[in-house]
Amino acid sequence: MADKVYQLKGVGYSYGTTPALQDFTLSLQKGAFYGIAGPNGCGKSTFLDLLVGSKDADAGELVFGGRPVSSYTKRELAKEVALVPQNFSIGFDYSVEEVVLMGRHPHIERFSSPTVSDWQRVHESMDAIGIRHFSDRSIMELSGGEKQRVVVARALAQDTPVLLLDEASSNLDIRYSLQIFNTVRRLVDNKGRTVIAVIHNLNFAAAYCDKIIFMKEGRVCEEGSVEQVMNEKIIGDVFGVESEVRFDTFSKTRQVSYRYGRER
């Protein structure tokens, strides 16, 4: 039990009469990088919302750290789990530094001020994501990609054992996408953190993840190491596309190529 972070048994969740997750049974280990992949609308973001406690399961058991997720207060869970959401908006004219500092709020007592240690975490997180040079800029002035990097830094500043990423690089160019995934991979390797990331880019998933969880129609359809589950048959079954998976000598990882419907 000690090596388990999350355990889900028969978990279900519906939006009205529309099921989003069905009979979801899964165990997630400490110190691993999980990639969650599947077609649009298969329940990936809902799965993360349940893990972070922003939604409550309609059925089944969802346990974190040996306790039901529902038994944690929001503050307790925020000290353990940080989320980089798919969509981020803020209606106030905060500076970048102030937004990143929000990641420290679960650790700061009410009516108290940030400590030297809190500010150190904020600045380390901004440095890791490369945004320290615009720390004084208004969040309202930033591009979509810049905002996304700020939100990642905020989650890093939260300094939790578990980090959830919901398409954390969707608005970013390749350089900044690699920067984020390299940073997160180091947290797993050097600090034993657990990362659970929704990733549409299967090549990124193959390069960075220890295990892949393929979802389809609200269920886990395949789970295992990259070597076990990243193959043409499973990709075809999950996404309905033709692909070729091979070991790439340059990246030293499995990589996926697709057939685009053109005549050979």
pLDDT tens-digit profile of 99-150?
999 999 999 988 899 999 999 999 999 999 999 999 999 999 999 899 999 9
pLDDT recorded at residue 58 = 94
* Residue 1: pLDDT over 50: no
Percent residues over pLDDT 70 in the chain = 98
Exposed, middle or buried by CB within 10 Å (0-12, 13-18, 19+), for 62?
A: buried
For residue range 8-63, list pLDDT tens digits in order.
999 999 999 999 999 999 999 999 999 999 999 999 999 999 999 999 999 999 99
CB half-sphere exposure, 33, CA atoms < 13 A:
20
Integer-rounded Cα Rg, in Å, for the chain is: 19
Structure tokens at 69: 């997720």
- Report the pLDDT averaged over residues 194-202: 97
* Residue 260: pLDDT over 80: no
User: How many Å apart are CA 31 and CA 228, to the nearest integer?
Assistant: 19
Domain boundaries, the chain: 88-159
pLDDT recorded at residue 111 = 85
Beta bridge partners of 243: 258
The alpha carbon of 171 is separated from its chain's Cα centroid by a whole number of angstroms, namely: 15
For residue range 109-123, list pLDDT tens digits in order.
888 999 999 999 999
Helix (H) or strand (E) holding 20, with range, is strand 18-29
SS3 34: strand
- Report the pLDDT averaged over residues 199-225: 96
Beta strands in 102-252 (DSSP E): 162-166, 194-198, 211-216, 219-225, 243-248
SS3 207: helix
Structure tokens at 166: 């919901």
Exposed, middle or buried by CB within 10 Å (0-12, 13-18, 19+), for 76?
A: middle
For residue range 67-76, list pLDDT tens digits in order.
999 999 999 9
Beta strands in 90-187 (DSSP E): 162-166
pLDDT recorded at residue 89 = 77
DSSP state of 13: E
Nearest to 24 by CA among 7, 39, 36, 38: 7
